[in-house]
Amino acid sequence: MLDLISWLVAIDKSVFLFINKALANPATDFIMPLITADLHLKLFYAVCLGLILVKGNNQLRWAVIFSLLTVTITDQLSSAVLKPLLARPRPCRIMEVHLLVGCGAGFSMPSSHAANLFGQAYFFKIIASRSAYYLIPLAVIVAISRIFVGVHYPGDIMIGAALGTVAGFGMGHLFLLFFKKTKFRITLPKEGKMPVRIEALEGDITKAKTEAIVNAANNHLWMGSGVAGAIKRRGGVEIEEDAVSKGPIKVGEAVESIAGKLPYKYIIHAAGMGQDLKTDEHIVYEVTKNSLLLADRLKLKSLALPSIGTGVGGLPVELCAKRMIMAVRELSNELKHLERVVFVLFGQAALESFESEIKRD
């Protein structure tokens, strides 16, 4: 057993020397100290968490609290428990290394940088899986930088990363359990997905920065005036031809068509009225849900919608906003792909109605 440990320690030192010395060059000597700097990392996370506290909903604010608890746990376990227990000296204290920063006080194993960053990365992976695309690579790069600058062995990084991963997974599932057992359970994310982000803006829906847009349609899918007319003019008659070929549909249903000359993957046609051009809040609610579900089946990440039924349908915009946003929120945790819903509105009054409804947490 002692021979195996000695062999692993020897390999660890060899890999360290290869990375720290053999791979050293002017570029890494400049970049790695910047990456590994505590101040830069703290500023980055402070800005991110600050934006969540200011802009986020109650669930996101609780996520900040749990993420800070995760860092507290990983930092204390690595610095106050494991480092004194294992008592491994830093390489810069017992070897001639290519040292780019201060050697630092205390022991070497595990790396607190790795533990803290992997803890954050895997905590957010559990509650918002797509954040892992950014946070895990960041944790890996910072962890490797600790070898380049001469203060940690690769083994320190691996143990720190393992500690952080376990803590992050544990705290992430504790966060989900917390929401399941409290009054916040309505907004519990399923399968690690945070609720759909809802936005409102005034403008032209054919210029929305989303993957698809919704047309406020009739059930025969003819495209006349209003939103439908604008989409047809800018996207071409082929949009109407493709849509009509799939109709008629029931009032309250939705169907997709090609986007013609418009820069979208699809146009979703939401049948908010029949040939009598009448609608009501229940139809608008139903057609919004069906449009969202269709967008999710098409694996869209973002979707723009108009205020359905407020034109010739005569539905009051306040009632429209209430029912459409209600539909988004009720489906939010069921949608596997859709991350962002944008309501593109005509006029300041409509914008204010939707913004007011969105702020109702």
Q: Is 249 left (phi over 0), alpha (psi -120 to 50) or beta?
A: beta
How confident is the model at residue 349, as a pLDDT? 86
Tell me the Cα Rg of the chain: 27
Give one DSSP letter per residue of 108-139, joined into a string.
-SS-HHHHHHHHHHHHHHHHSGGGHHHHHHHH
300 located within any domain? yes
Number of domains present in the structure of the chain: 2
| CB contact at 8 A, 308 and 277 | no
Q: What CATH number corresponds to the domain at position 210? A: 3.40.220.10
User: Within 13 Å, how many C-alpha atoms sit on residue 347's CB side?
Assistant: 8
Residue holding tokens 């229940």? 282
If we measure between CA atoms, which residue out of 305, 321, 286, 143 comes closest to residue 227?
305
Helix axis angle, 154-181 to 132-148, nearest 10°: 150
- Domain hosting residue 7, numbered range: 2-187
Domain edge (last residue) among 142, 164, 187: 187
235 located within any domain? yes
Report residue 152 as tokens: 């940690």
Do residues 51 and 169 both lie within one domain?
yes
292 located within any domain? yes
Domain edge (last residue) among 144, 165, 187: 187
Do residues 57 and 27 both lie within one domain?
yes
Residues in the chain: 361
Do residues 89 and 165 both lie within one domain?
yes
Do residues 20 and 155 both lie within one domain?
yes
Do residues 342 and 270 both lie within one domain?
yes
Domain edge (last residue) among 187, 216, 249: 187
268 has which bridge partners? 214, 256
How confident is the model at residue 115, as a pLDDT? 93
Do residues 204 and 171 both lie within one domain?
no
Do residues 96 and 174 both lie within one domain?
yes
Do residues 27 and 61 both lie within one domain?
yes
Alpha helix ranges (H) inside 56-128: 58-75, 83-86, 91-94, 112-127
Alpha helix ranges (H) inside 149-301: 154-181, 226-235, 237-244, 281-297
CA atoms of 159 and 148, how far apart (whole Å):
17
pLDDT tens digits for the chain (361 residues)?
667 778 888 898 989 889 988 888 999 899 999 888 877 667 777 777 677 666 655 666 777 888 889 989 999 999 999 999 988 999 988 888 899 988 887 889 999 999 999 998 999 888 776 677 788 998 999 999 999 988 999 999 999 999 999 999 999 888 877 766 544 443 444 444 556 888 899 888 888 999 999 998 888 888 877 788 888 888 888 988 888 888 788 988 999 999 888 999 999 998 888 877 788 888 889 999 999 999 999 999 999 999 998 887 788 999 999 999 989 988 887 888 888 899 998 888 889 888 888 877 5
183 located within any domain? yes
Dihedral sign for Cα 355, 314, 278, 234, please.
negative
192 located within any domain? no
Do residues 288 and 351 both lie within one domain?
yes
How confident is the model at residue 179, as a pLDDT? 64
User: Within 13 Å, how many C-alpha atoms sit on residue 267's CB side?
Assistant: 35
271 located within any domain? yes
